[in-house]
A and B are shown apart, each in its own frame.
Chain A
Amino acid sequence: MDGTYILYKFILASAILLISLLVAMYSTLLERKVAAFFQDRLGPNRAGIFGIFQPLADGLKLFFKEEFMPGDADKFLYILGPSLTMMIALLTSAVIPWGNSLVIGGAEYSLQVADVNVGVLYVFAILSIGVYGIMIGGWASNNKYALIGAVRAASQMISYELAMSMTIIAIVMMSGSLSLKDMVEQQHGMNWNVWYQPLGFLIFLVCAFAECNRSPFDLPECETELIGGYHTEYSSMKLGFYLFAEYINMFISSAMIATLFFGGYNFPFMDDLHLSHNVITIIGSLVFFVKIAFFVFFFMWVRWTLPRFRYDQLMRLGWKSLLPLAIVNMIITGLVIMIKHHL
């Protein structure tokens, strides 16, 4: 059993890694297409049909750009920054249940790399170390704009992490388990958490925008004030890594939203179809990706619709609105659970 099991996990992990990278790659194209749509333009359409090879062209362009390193930069940390950002962005995908299990030849293969029983805490941990890449990169560039960008990014992420964790705690209280797999199982059919936690969902969504440094909260890299923020001094593929990690973060955040609030791979009437387990699993995974795609689109929709916040507004929103709301949400959830328990 051990040999095939390890081989299977290896294949699954590689597949998920590849899918994450592929989705992130095509999100860049989608981003440009969506931007074009919102601005009544056509968008990239020269490389292949509908610009389908545009991400490859972009990547190639980044590779052939001149590699530049500031003279006073801390060489090692300058390279470590983008690498760390990329690595941490990919780490979360290990605990997300991408689908139910497949039964092949009597053996059950789960479509989740690691069903750790501290799954949600693992996500918290990855969230909390997400600032390192940006801070190290911004500091090592030895540039005041990069430094300000890094400090902004770090304070923004730390502030919004709190409210985000509080909303997840409310969900943990509901499900009674820290394993993401159990949480998804409990949202079977249409029994999604978003019906019970609408406020929590809204808070989580806003916080996800802030955690990904996406517009309207893209103050760490806001061009009008800070040139490029923490990646001002970066060029070539190192810059590519930073930009790319943002899209991976977006993809993973969408996957987390879909997992926690929209039932993951569950879809309505899944029991009434009377299909075999494997077919249901495959349809479920596809449905999961449709949900993710919707939220990725939503991220872009918001980016090209809303203007950027001011930094003090961002902090006020995080600390004075979202955090108290998240605490109230948590207390109400606890009260309801207690009342239901005593009835």
Chain B
Amino acid sequence: MIFSKYLFFILSFIAIYAALKVLISKKPMHSVLYLTLTFFAIGGHYILLNAQFLAVVHIIVYAGAIMVLFIYTVMLLNLNIQGEFPKSRLAKFASAIAGGILLFTLIAVFRSYDLKVLADPSLNQIGLVKNLGKILFQDYYLPFELSSILFLAAMVGAVMLGKKDIY
């Protein structure tokens, strides 16, 4: 299990590096691709937690659908010609400090709780499709149905917004 620890550090490093690159990159296309890399690293984290279902759904939803939509938008809007709109140095500095303080606070808050570890995640079976499916369709059946209605509404909304001549 020493191996999985190294894997954790490698994946975390990739995720954080790519997440920083999302902000540093000048071209929106590069930002999108770096964010995709972050999502793949997070998918690897799900596998480390033995949450196979979530890992695959994460890749399908985020890498396969959401990021493709982003790339699509970047392509259609032709954003590279526009380039980027820089903020003032002061604003950047201030937001970096704000982010740092937020990180500090978050970690401090979480650390102040005594979080007990009840199970070994690498042996845990709850993340398998069978178990999650049973819980999803028994205990969380109504939210599941409601989320499908949410999807339908989103789909109709997106089609309506995308139409050119609705006025």
Instruction: Check A-B contact in the complex, CB < 8 A.
Output: yes
Tell me which of A127-135, A183-191, A237-245, A304-312 binds B.
A127-135
Tell me whether A128 and B60 are in contact (CB under 8 A): yes
When the two chains form their complex, are residues B129 and A128 in contact, meaning their CB atoms are under 8 A apart? no
Compute how far the CA of A131 lies from the CA of B36 in the bound complex, rounded to whole angstroms.
13
| Distance A135 CA – B56 CA, assembled complex (angstroms) | 22
Residue of A117, A129, A131, A136 contacting most chain B CB atoms (<10 Å): A129
- Contact yes or no, B71 A178, CB < 8 A: no
Q: How would you classify the secondary structure of chain A's contact residues: helix, strand, loop or mixed?
A: helix
A128 touches B71 (CB 8 A): no
Residues of chain B from 106 to 151 with CB closer than 8 A to chain A in the complex: 128-129
Beta-carbon contact of A118 and B60 below 8 Å:
no
Contact of A135 among B65, B75, B128 (CB under 8 A): B75
Q: Which residues of A contact B56 (CB under 8 A)?
A: 118, 121-122, 124-125
Contact of B72 among A74, A77, A136, A154 (CB under 8 A): A154
Which of B65, B75, B129 is close to A178, meaning CB atoms less than 8 Å apart? Answer: B129
Per the 8 Å Cβ criterion, residues 134-181 of A in contact with B are 135-136, 139, 147, 150-151, 154, 158, 178
Residue of chain B at shortest CB distance from A119: B56
| Cβ-neighbour of B29 out of A77, A154, A178 (below 8 A) | A77
Q: How many residues of A contact B (CB 8 A)?
A: 23
A80–B52 alpha-carbon span in the complex (Å): 28
- With A135-B71, A151-B72, A151-B76 known as contacts, the answer to whether A129 contacts B63 (CB < 8 A) is yes
**CB proximity of A196 to chain B, nearest CB, Å:** 23
Least CB separation from B74: chain A residue: A139
- B8 sits at the interface (CB 8 A): no
- What is the bound-complex CA distance between A127 and B56, given in angstroms? 12
Residues of A within 8 A of B63 (CB): 125, 128-129
Fill in one digit per residue for A23-34: 1 if any B CB lies within 8 Å of its CB, else 0: 000000000000
Task: Tell me the smallest distance from the CB of B112 to a CB of chain A, in Å.
Answer: 37
- Give the Cβ gap from B68 to chain A, nearest Cβ, in Å: 6
Q: How far is the CA of A139 from the CA of B29 in the complex (A)?
A: 9
Chain A nearest CB from B85 CB (Å) reads 20
**Cα–Cα, bound, A124→B53 (Å):** 12
Query: Contacts A116-B52, A118-B52, A178-B129 known; A128 to B29 CB distance under 8 Å?
Result: no
Residues of B within 8 A of A129 (CB): 59, 63-64
A77, B71: Cα distance in complex, Å: 13
B42 at the interface (CB under 8 A from A): no
Q: Which residues of B are found within 8 Å of A132, using beta-carbon distances?
A: 36, 68, 71
Number of residues on chain B facing chain A (CB within 8 A): 21
Would B33 and A77 count as touching, CB distance under 8 A? Answer: yes
Q: Known A77-B33, A151-B76, A178-B129; judge A121-B68 contact (CB<8 A).
A: no
B52 near A117 with CB under 8 A, answer yes
**Contact residues, A172-215 vs B (CB, 8 A):** 178
Are A124 and B75 closer than 8 Å at their CB atoms? Answer: no
Q: A116-B52, A121-B57 are in contact. Are A147 and B65 (CB under 8 A)?
A: no
Q: Which residue of A lies closest to B71 (CB)?
A: A135
Residues of chain A lying within 8 A (CB to CB) of residue B33: 77, 136
Binary CB contact string for chain B from 45 to 59 against chain A (1 if under 8 A, 0 otherwise):
000000011001101
Residues on the A chain within 8 Å of B129, using CB:
117-118, 121, 178
Residues of B within 8 A of A127 (CB): 64
| Measured CA separation A15–B64 after assembly (Å) | 29
Interface positions of A from 95 to 133, Cβ below 8 Å from B: 116-118, 121-122, 124-125, 127-129, 131-132
The residue on A at minimum CB distance from B63 is: A129
Check A125/B68 contact, CB under 8 A, given A116-B52, A151-B76: no
> Judging by beta carbons under 8 Å apart, are A125 and B75 in contact?
no
**Beta-carbon contacts of B17-52 to A below 8 Å, as 1s and 0s?**
000000000010100010010000000000000001
Please state if A125 and B60 are interface contacts (CB–CB under 8 Å): yes
Smallest beta-carbon distance B74→chain A, Å: 8
- Compute how far the CA of A151 lies from the CA of B78 in the bound complex, rounded to whole angstroms: 12
Residues of A within 8 Å of B29, CB to CB, are: 74, 77, 139
Q: Which 7 A-B pairs have the closest CB atoms?
A: A128-B64, A121-B56, A125-B59, A125-B60, A118-B56, A118-B52, A128-B60
Given contacts A125-B56, A128-B64, A135-B68, 9 further A-B contacts (CB under 8 A): A122-B56, A128-B59, A135-B72, A139-B75, A151-B75, A154-B68, A158-B65, A158-B68, A178-B129
Residue contacts A-B, CB under 8 angstroms, 22 given = A74-B27, A74-B29, A77-B33, A117-B129, A118-B52, A118-B56, A121-B56, A121-B129, A124-B64, A125-B56, A125-B63, A125-B64, A127-B64, A128-B59, A128-B60, A129-B64, A131-B68, A132-B36, A136-B33, A139-B71, A154-B71, A178-B129
